[in-house]
Each structure stands twice: as C-alpha cells, then as structure tokens.
C-alpha cells in the first residue's frame, strides 16, 4: 500500500496537489477543453498564515473548490484568461450597424481601459465591489462626470453579460444601480421663464451682430426641435401650403467623417410639426436671407440647408452652441441682472414647459417633442415651480 503524500507540516495532500521546493502549493487539473492547467498558492488552507514578504493570495483549496464548481457548471475556468479590455473589444465587435456616435462612445471606453489598470484585470477576478470601487475612483480621482461614467458603465454591463452568457463567469459584476454607488452631479437644464425668454429674444432681435440668428433662435424656442433636427432641415422640409415642418432626419458632424445625415434620435422623433404663423414667417425670412455657397453642399443626398457660416460651411450644432454662448456673454456684460445659461437644448426644455403649463394634452406634447416614452416628457422636460402651482390652483378655483 502506497504511502499518502504529505506537505512539510504533515498534512495529507489531495489528488493533484503538491508542495514545491520553494514552499508553494500547486494544483493540477484538466480544463473543459482537455488542456492541463495549474494554479498556485503559498497557502494550502484558508487558515494558513501568509509567509513573510509574500503577497496575500487565495488558499489553494479555495481555488480548487472554485475550479471544481466551474467545471461542474461548465463555466470556463479563469474566465478564458480574458481581460476586461479583451472582453469589451469582443463585445464591441458584435455590435454591427450602430450609429457613428455610438461607435465613438465605444472607442472612448476602449481607450480608457487601455490606459487604466482595471482594463488588464482578468474578468473572473472582477467582483461587484471591484466594479463599484472603480467607478467611484473615476468620479472622485479622475473627476469624470456622472453622465460620462453612466456611458462607460453602459458598455461594461452588457459586455460582462456577454461573458455570463458565454459561460466565462458566473454573474455580472456591473449589474447594480449606478445612483447607489456614485453621486449624480449632472446639472439639470432649467427652462427659462416666459419673462426671461422674451428678454433673450428681444436682445437678439435688436442686437446689431446677433440679429442675423434671431429667426433660427425664435424657431427653436417655439417648436422644441432638437438642434440637430433644426440644422438638418432643408428647403423641401418646409411646407408653406400645408403649414408643416417635416422632421425625419438630423445633421451631425464628426472630425473623422465630416458631415453626415442620420435618422432621428428615436422612431418617435420622425414627425410632422404644425407651423404657427410667426414660425412660418421666420422660415420665410430665413429663406429670403439665405446665402449658400456657389456650389451648394450635398450631404448623403440632401441639399438646401438653411444656414451657412462665413466660409460657406453648413451650420451644425456646434455653430449654434457658440452663438448662444456669445449672446449670453454679451447680454450679461451689458445688464447687471444676469441671464441664466441658455443653450439650444434649453430652448427645447422651455418650449416643453410652456406647452405643459398651458395645459396641452401630454400625449400631444409627447408627439411634438418626439419622445418615445411619455415619462421623458413629463419627468425630464417639464419644469414646474411654486408660482406655477399657485396659478393652477387659482385657475381651477380650488381656493
């Protein structure tokens, strides 16, 4: 009868276990593909102390239990030796036919993981606490915004779910509520009051330099169009006979690909908006004063855009954001009472709030805004305060 193998402390070693000359323990096993593998540890049992000057590690028999459980459940051991970066790159490779803005978001996350040590971490070693600590690090140390971290987690969570579905890991470490981990420091876009809107529009209308943008800004305040939708409008989208605006695309621009046309943000974004007389008059003035270059630019088969810069380039969202920024700066430089932040998206918020305060049917407002979910219309874009509540109570004759 053969004598049982023991370690230096006299403990019986199991099949596959051995203590090496340097004192480390090794466990050999055959993985799901039939390949021989090995794991090591300075400790045999979880009660064993760590040798001096050695990095703390999991006990060998703890690793064995995990390996045996993984083999039983057909989980690929060691996460297939895949790192977080490897996993995200694999996930991104499965996402075909996505929008250029989404592709840019993927590139940002991959670039971050290439620089960050978290990207080198093996996926089966990532615990929920690790994922949470990393996101906290991104906010507190790297000073990334909540929206930026939300986008990063929006790539990592489905990537790890892919690993779960492929039996590389047991559970998704990013499957938790983000607001429970980091602080939502997003700045809420506030709608302008009716008085602020009037002051802003009057300032633009009477300013020698900025009055050339008055009609466009007025349309943004009175239609709730997204700035990319407004920039994408062409002459053929304005129907003066039916008094409507056709919204079925948006104009975008990226440094690597230039201008391009993309479908609306959601399916509900494709809509036909009714034009009021004042909005229609603004469009007529825009077309009258329109100064296209000698050769009109065409973007993905569309031409006849409404605004061009001094170099003959089509005006897109960044142009308008800069116009608004300079208008607010000039206004605040002249007047003691400062105008709050005004952007093209604030115009959209303001329009939605004004319509809601006027008592418009929520479903009609949802259509006009191009929202796929009514909760977005009601919760995100309507801005009510104490004075609005008082006016509503008076209107309903509650008091």
Q: How far apart are CA 207 and CA 330, in angstroms?
A: 10
Active-site hit among 63, 213, 381, 383: 381
Whose CA is closest to 229, among 317, 297, 291? 317
- Rounded to whole angstroms, the Cα distance separating 223 from 245 reads 10
CA distance 1 to 215: 98
Beta bridge partners of 246: 272
d(CA 123, CA 134): 14
Residue 258 near residue 100 (C-beta atoms within 8 A):
no
Nearest to 108 by CA among 163, 149, 137: 149
Given 11, 14, 24, 265, which residue is catalytic? 265
The catalytically annotated residue of 253, 348, 349, 383 is: 348
- The residue annotated as part of the active site, out of 249, 349, 371, 383, is 371
In degrees, to the nearest 5, what angle opens at C-alpha 177 toward C-alphas 105 and 170?
85
> Is 331 among the residues known to form the active site?
no
131's tokens: 């994922």
First-to-last C-alpha distance (Å) of the chain: 98
- 345 annotated active-site: yes
Catalytic residue among 226, 249, 319, 383: 226
- Structure tokens belonging to residue 69: 């459980």
- Could you give the CA distance from residue 117 to residue 236 in angstroms, rounded to a whole number? 52
Instruction: Let me know if 395 is a catalytic residue.
Output: no
Catalytic-labelled residue, pool 24, 345, 357, 367? 345
CA distance 366 to 10: 75
How many Å apart are CA 149 and CA 139, to the nearest integer?
Answer: 8
DSSP secondary structure letters along 275-339: PPHHHHHHHHHHHHH----SS---BTTB--BS-B-TTSPBP-HHHHHHHHHHHHHHHHHH-SSPP
- 381 part of the active site: yes
Angle at 379 between CA 320 and CA 222, to 5 degrees: 40
| Positions marked active-site | 226, 265, 345, 348, 371, 381
């Amino acid at each position: 009868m053969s004598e049982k193998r023991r370690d230096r402390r006299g403990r019986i070693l199991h099949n596959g276990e051995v203590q090496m000359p340097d004192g480390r323990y090794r466990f050999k096993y055959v993985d799901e593909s039939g390949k021989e593998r090995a794991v090591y540890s300075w400790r045999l049992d979880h009660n064993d102390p760590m040798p001096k000057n050695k990095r703390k590690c999991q006990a060998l028999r703890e690793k064995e239990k995990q390996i045996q459980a993984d083999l039983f459940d057909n989980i690929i051991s060691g996460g297939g030796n895949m790192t977080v970066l490897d996993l995200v790159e694999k996930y991104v490779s499965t996402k075909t036919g996505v929008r250029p803005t989404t592709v840019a978001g993927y590139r940002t996350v991959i670039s971050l993981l290439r620089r960050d040590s978290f990207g080198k971490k093996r996926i089966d070693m990532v615990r929920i606490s690790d994922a949470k600590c990393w996101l906290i690090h991104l906010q507190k140390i790297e000073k990334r915004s909540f929206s930026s971290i939300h986008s990063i987690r929006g790539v990592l969570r489905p990537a790890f779910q892919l690993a779960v579905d492929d039996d590389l890991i047991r559970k998704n470490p990013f499957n938790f509520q983000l607001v429970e981990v980091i602080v939502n420091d997003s700045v809420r876009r506030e709608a302008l009051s009716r008085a602020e809107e009037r002051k802003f529009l009057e300032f633009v209308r009477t300013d020698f330099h900025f009055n050339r943008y008055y009609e466009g800004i007025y349309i943004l305040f009175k239609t709730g169009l997204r700035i990319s939708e407004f920039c994408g409008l062409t002459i053929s989208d304005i129907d003066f006979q039916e008094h409507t605006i056709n919204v079925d695309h948006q104009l975008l621009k990226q440094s690597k690909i230039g201008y391009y046309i993309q479908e609306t943000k959601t399916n509900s974004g494709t809509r036909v908006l009714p034009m009021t007389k004042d909005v229609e008059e603004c469009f007529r003035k825009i077309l009258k004063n329109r100064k296209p270059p000698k050769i009109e630019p065409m973007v993905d088969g569309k031409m006849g855009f409404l605004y061009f810069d001094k170099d003959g380039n089509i005006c897109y969202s960044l142009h308008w954001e800069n116009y608004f920024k300079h208008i607010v700066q000039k206004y605040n430089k002249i007047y003691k009472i400062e105008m709050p932040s005004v952007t093209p998206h604030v115009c959209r918020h303001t329009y939605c709030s004004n319509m809601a305060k006027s008592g418009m049917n929520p479903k009609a407002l949802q259509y006009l805004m191009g929202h796929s979910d009514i909760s977005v219309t009601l919760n995100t874009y309507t801005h009510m305060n104490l004075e609005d509540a008082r006016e509503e109570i008076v209107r309903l004759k509650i008091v």
